[in-house]
A = this chain, B = another copy of it.
Amino acid sequence: MDAKTQARLTMRANVFKALAHPSRLLIVEQLAHKELCVCQLREMIGADMSTVSKHLSVLKGAGMIQDEKRGLQVYYRLKMPCVLRFFDCVGEVIETNVKEQWELVNLR
């Protein structure tokens, strides 16, 4: 694998990595509806605020969300709504997996 391909794939992998955590997926889902501040996301996720802040910085670092400070709060919003299209296929993958496992269990 040449260096250029390696670089391209690493950048892409980083985008997926940003989505590879339940809390970060919840953040993306919620921001799909409307912008939210850190404290609102903290409530939804139920983790320490510092933890949520770190998750947000991961998503921001990957270019998926934007932040804007207004008064004391920092509001985040989805910058790349195209990532929402991922979820259909992800759901399809999971559905297929579960179906197959179900059939495996019912073998006789």
Q: Using a CB–CB distance below 8 Å, which chain A residues touch chain B?
A: 1, 5-6, 9-17, 19-26, 44-46, 62-64, 79-80, 82-83, 85-94, 96-97, 100
A20 touches B22 (CB 8 A): no
**What is the copy number of this chain in the assembly?**
2
Interchain CB contact (< 8 A) of A63 among B15, B20, B82, B96: B96
Interchain CB contact (< 8 A) of A85 among B14, B63, B80, B89: B89
- A10: B residues at CB distance < 8 A: 22
Say what secondary structure dominates the interface of chain A.
helix
A1 with B26, Cβ < 8 A, contacts A80-B92, A80-B96 known: yes
A72→B15 CA distance, assembly (Å): 36
Q: Known contacts A5-B26, A13-B21, A82-B92; can you find 14 more A-B pairs with CB under 8 A?
A: A1-B26, A6-B22, A12-B90, A13-B22, A15-B90, A16-B16, A20-B20, A62-B97, A64-B93, A80-B92, A83-B89, A85-B85, A85-B89, A86-B86
